[in-house]
Each structure stands twice: as structure tokens, then as C-alpha cells.
Amino acid sequence: MATITVHDDIKQDLKKIGRKGESYSDIVNRLIIYYCTKMLDAELNDILENEEFIPLDLEKV
């Protein structure tokens, strides 16, 4: 286990975000998963908006 130092205001923010029974590690892990999901969503939306797709004709498969 490692120790991460954060400012008191960040610690208070983590407490506000946390759910009953969650450790700081649980909260940070949940925030990382949320961030990664948002980044993937943004990347996929960018691909949908800016890339050219060739539709697959599934009836011929």
C-alpha cells in the first residue's frame, strides 16, 4: 500500500464525492473509471463525427 498526499480541500472534495463505506482508494478508482469512460465516449463520438465509414451489407455475409 502506498501513501498519496493531497491538500485538505481535495480531501474534503473526495469526502463529498464518496459514498457510505467507501475508502479513498475506492473513490479514486471510481473517478478513474468514470474519466476513462468519458474519454472513450469522446473518442468514439469524434470518430463517428469525423471519419468515413463503409457500411457492411450483412445480408451478403
Position 37 in a domain: yes
Q: How far is CA 41 from the centre of its chain?
A: 9
- Cell readout for 11 is 480531501
Position 16 in a domain: no
Position 9 in a domain: no
For range 7-25, the mean pLDDT: 96
Owning domain of residue 32: 22-50
For 29, 30, 44, the CA distances from 11, given in Å and listed in that order, are 15, 15, 33
3-class DSSP state of 60: helix
Please count the structural domains in the chain. Answer: 1
Position 1 in a domain: no
For range 5-21, the mean pLDDT: 96
Check residue 11 and give its pLDDT: 96
**pTM, 2 dp:** 0.74
For range 7-22, the mean pLDDT: 97
Distance between CA atoms of 33 and 31, rounded to whole angstroms? Answer: 5
Confidence check: pLDDT of 47 > 80: yes
